[in-house]
Amino acid sequence: MTIVVTGATGNVGRPLVCELAAAGAQVRAVTRSPETAGFPDGVEAVRSPVDALAGATAVFLNSRALGDGLADVVALARRHGVTKLVALSAINADDDFSRQPSRFRGDRNKEVEQLAVDSGLDWVSLRPSVFASNFIGMWAAQILTGDVVGGPYAAASAAPIVDSDISAVAAQALLTDEYVGQRIPLTGPQALTNSELVQIIGRVLGRPLRYFEVPPDVVRERFIGLGLGAEFADAYAAMLADSLDKPALVTGEVEKITGRPATTFAQWVAEHRHLFTK
């Protein structure tokens, strides 16, 4: 079995490469810098997905990594005799695009899933909730400089999933046929508000952290100043506002598929505390 992993040096791709290699699969890891990727022994680092597809059995599709070449890669996979596609989509893939901030960072969650479904090949679509790693970019800089994290909608709810849990599920979807034809919603084990998430970080770090609610228009200007753009800022605020009146969905799919409980947000913070401390 030869498995192609696109986005192989990302937060999901790298642990996925390691999981597959440990399971004995032949892995071709697509990366722009194969010389310095540092994959496990036996993993073949390939610069282009086009060069990786010949003789491959299955492909993990990361739409952000593939960019405008996404549809071409799916078509080429079919021509090369690939039999399975596992798409990295998102739990909100069916929402209006105005509430999908990751689209403005390059994700094409709806499109990658639909391409896989329409390919005529066996397919699995993974639909994770917000990644735990997102909170590094959003909050770490503020936590490094003080005890207050400012942002919109303190009561907004999410069930963050640890990136490596997504990888563990992806490995099972690639290595077995048990999940073919499924859209799998993946979440962390608990719905938490922004205030609760900051409190958890504070408890792990032993600091009195608190969340301070900032008006969305102020956050919008901050995001624009950081280069994230107005469309991302508006979609992020709309996504959070949509979660105010209901706890985030929590599923048990990680434990059902991997045989172990989903990693808690507190566990993840403890493992990455160095990113929140000086």
Average the pLDDT over 217-246 and give the result: 91
- The pLDDT of residue 126: 98
- The pLDDT of residue 278: 81
Q: How far apart are CA 232 and CA 254, in angstroms?
A: 29
| Nearest Cα residue to 191 out of 156, 221, 153 | 156
Bigger pLDDT: 52 vs 278: 52
Write the pLDDT tens digit of every residue in 253-269: 999 999 999 999 999 99
Split at pLDDT 50, 70, 90, the class of 170 is very high
- The pLDDT of residue 228: 85
| Nearest Cα residue to 166 out of 193, 134, 139, 138 | 134
CB 245 within 8 A of CB 87: no
| Nearest Cα residue to 124 out of 67, 178, 62, 70 | 178
Q: How far apart are CA 231 and CA 35, in angstroms?
A: 36
**Residue 31 phi/psi, 5° resolution?**
-150, 150
Split at pLDDT 50, 70, 90, the class of 44 is very high
- The pLDDT of residue 234: 94
The alpha-helical segments, DSSP class H, found in 84-215 are: 109-118, 134-145, 163-175, 194-205
- The pLDDT of residue 233: 92
Write the pLDDT tens digit of every residue in 72-131: 999 999 999 999 999 999 999 999 999 999 999 999 999 999 999 999 999 999 999 999
**pLDDT over threshold 90, residue 223:** no
Surface-to-core class of residue 278, CB atoms within 10 Å of its CB (0-12 exposed, 13-18 middle, 19+ buried): exposed
Average the pLDDT over 237-261 and give the result: 95
- The pLDDT of residue 134: 94
| Strand stretches in the chain, DSSP E | 2-5, 26-30, 44-46, 58-61, 84-88, 122-128, 148-151, 157-158, 182-186, 192-193, 210-213
CB 31 within 8 A of CB 38: no
Task: Enumerate domains of the chain plus CATH numbers.
Answer: 2-275 (3.40.50.720)
**pLDDT over threshold 90, residue 226:** no
Split at pLDDT 50, 70, 90, the class of 41 is very high
